[in-house]
Chain A
Amino acid sequence: NAGVTQTPKFQVLKTGQSMTLQCAQDMNHEYMSWYRQDPGMGLRLIHYSVGAGITDQGEVPNGYNVSRSTTEDFPLRLLSAAPSQTSVYFCASSYSRGVFYGYTFGSGTRLTVV
Chain B
Amino acid sequence: TQLLEQSPQFLSIQEGENLTVYCNSSSVFSSLQWYRQEPGEGPVLLVTVVTGGEVKKLKRLTFQFGDARKDSSLHITAAQPGDTGLYLCAGGDGNEKLTFGTGTRLTIIP
CB <8 Å contact, B97 and A45: yes
The one of A42, A92, A101 in contact with B103, judged by C-beta atoms closer than 8 angstroms, is: A42
Min Cβ gap B35→A in Å is 8
Residues of B within 8 A of A102 (CB): 33, 45, 48
Q: Is the CB of A106 within 8 A of B42?
A: yes
Question: What 0/1 readout, one digit per residue, does chain A (84-114) give for beta carbons within 8 Å of chain B?
Answer: 0000001010101001111111111000000
Residue in B1, B40, B98 whose CB lies within 8 Å of A103: B98
Query: Considering only CB atoms, which chain A residue lies closest to B48 in the complex?
Result: A102
Question: Which residues from chain A contact B42 at a C-beta distance below 8 Å?
Answer: 4, 90, 92, 105-108
Q: Contact between B97 and A58 (Cβ–Cβ < 8 Å)?
A: yes
Asked if A42 meets B100 with Cβ closer than 8 Å, knowing A100-B92, A108-B42, the reply is: yes
A-B contact count (CB 8 A): 57
* Chain A positions 28 through 72: 1 when the CB is less than 8 Å from some CB of chain B, otherwise 0: 000101010000111111001010000000110000000000000
Inter-chain pairs besides A43-B90, A106-B42, A108-B40, 9 sampled, C-beta below 8 Å? A90-B42, A90-B43, A96-B96, A99-B50, A100-B31, A102-B48, A103-B43, A105-B42, A105-B44
Write 30 A-B pairs (CB below 8 A) sorted by A numbering. A4-B42, A35-B100, A40-B102, A41-B102, A42-B88, A42-B101, A42-B102, A42-B103, A43-B43, A43-B88, A44-B100, A45-B98, A48-B96, A48-B97, A90-B42, A90-B43, A96-B96, A99-B31, A100-B92, A100-B96, A101-B48, A102-B33, A102-B48, A103-B43, A103-B98, A105-B44, A106-B42, A107-B42, A108-B40, A108-B41
